[in-house]
Amino acid sequence: MLTDVTAFAPATVANVGIGFDILGHTVDAVGDRVRLRRIDEPVVRIRSITGIAGELPIEAMSNTAGRAVQALHAALRLDYGFEIDIDKGIPLASGMGGSAASAVAAVVAANALLEEPVPRLQLLKFAMEGEIVASGSAHIDNIAPCLIGGLVLTVGIDHPRVKQIPVPPSLRCVLVHPHMFLGTREARAVLKTDVTRSDFVWQSANLAGFISGCYSNDLDMIRDSFNDVIIEPQRHSLIPGFKDVQRGAMSAGALGCSISGAGPTIFAWAEIQHAEAVRGAMVAAFTLHGLQSDCWVSSLEAYGARVVKA
Ligand code: HSE
């Protein structure tokens, strides 16, 4: 019986431009690690938060990882508890799915400590409780890919259906994080609650085209449909230099470029031979706007959260 387990959960690009709140993919190059220890006392508590920790709450109730483990603990009526150490690798308020990664790593580690582990998809709803603490809304587009890996479509919230979508193997994701904070609540608050019929039609066509392009390895279809006509136009002014970063990526050969989750991180998809030029162009454009940045180039393979030490 294990008593001490560490799990890793990757960063995620939510929305992937055209799938607001329903589509997301992993970026395995960066992530959070969460260690859980079984304790006799039937409580959930956080012992430490290290790494790029900022001012994260140490009370389990208010912390995304703590709240997710509390949800699992209560649902399974466990008569023992957990002590948690969180090591943040994902910058806070970056649009890289940091709150989801901590919650997912925590429940994956907790599951490995159970006498009878629950099926992986059941962990979704526990992790979602953690995500609500962080962002104030129940969206699942970071959590689902973080848990199962790769490009993931989620349909439904209460009983979500989760579908892993194949991505052409020649594609890479370039992720560029400018050194600034943008809260998810703030980025959601700027969004209108209605859309025009014309925008609805374009966005539906683009989402359908994008997904069919992924299934059929049709890079032209992916490129032509990689265009968010609803959310990006309302949010891009929150990110200094967004248009220049996007133009730079597209000129360097990207198939598409948009806001990662709620921002300010910007992502692009590119064929492997263009990925380095795309990365350089995006970083240079941010620099021109006075922003330093971190960047990652990642495959889109389906590696989700996993136990790394037991
Ligand atoms: N889909 C969410 C949003 C993701 O764009 O607001 C937030 O991480």
Residue 1: the pLDDT is 81
Work out the burial of residue 227: count CB atoms within 10 Å of its CB; fewer than 13 is exposed, 13-18 middle, 19 or more buried. Answer: middle
CA of 140 to the centre of ligand 1 (A): 9
**Which of 173, 111, 101, 105 has its CA nearest to residue 143?**
101
| Ligand 1 atom nearest 142 alpha carbon | 8
Residue 159: the pLDDT is 87
Say yes or no: 10 and 153 in one domain.
Answer: yes
Q: Whose CA is nearest to atom 8 of ligand 1?
A: 261
Q: Ligand 1 — pocket residues by CB below 6 A?
A: 14-15, 20-21, 139, 141-142, 184, 187-188, 261-262
> The whole model's pTM is what?
0.95
Residue 302: the pLDDT is 85
Residue 199: the pLDDT is 97
CA of 234 to the centre of ligand 1 (A): 13
Say yes or no: 157 and 237 in one domain.
Answer: no
User: Which amino acid does the sequence have at 55?
Assistant: E
For 223-275, the pLDDT digits (tens) are 999 999 999 999 999 999 999 999 999 999 999 999 999 999 999 999 999 99
Query: Which residues of the chain are modeled with pLDDT < 50?
Result: none
Q: Looking at residue 91, what DSSP letter applies?
A: P
CA of 261 to the centre of ligand 1 (A): 4
Say yes or no: 123 and 249 in one domain.
Answer: no
CATH number at residue 49: 3.30.230.10
Residue 184: the pLDDT is 86
Say yes or no: 147 and 178 in one domain.
Answer: no
Pair 145, 241: CB distance under 8 Å:
no
Say yes or no: 27 and 147 in one domain.
Answer: yes
In terms of phi and psi (left: phi > 0; alpha: psi -120 to 50; beta: otherwise), the region of 259 is beta
Cis peptide leading into residue 264 (ω within 30°): yes
Say yes or no: 179 and 126 in one domain.
Answer: no
**Which of 28, 50, 96 has its CA nearest to residue 297?**
28
Range of the domain at 180: 171-299
CATH number at residue 182: 3.30.70.890
Residue 53: the pLDDT is 74
Structural domain total, the chain: 2
Q: Whose CA is nearest to atom 1 of ligand 1?
A: 21
| Ligand 1 atom nearest 95 alpha carbon | 8
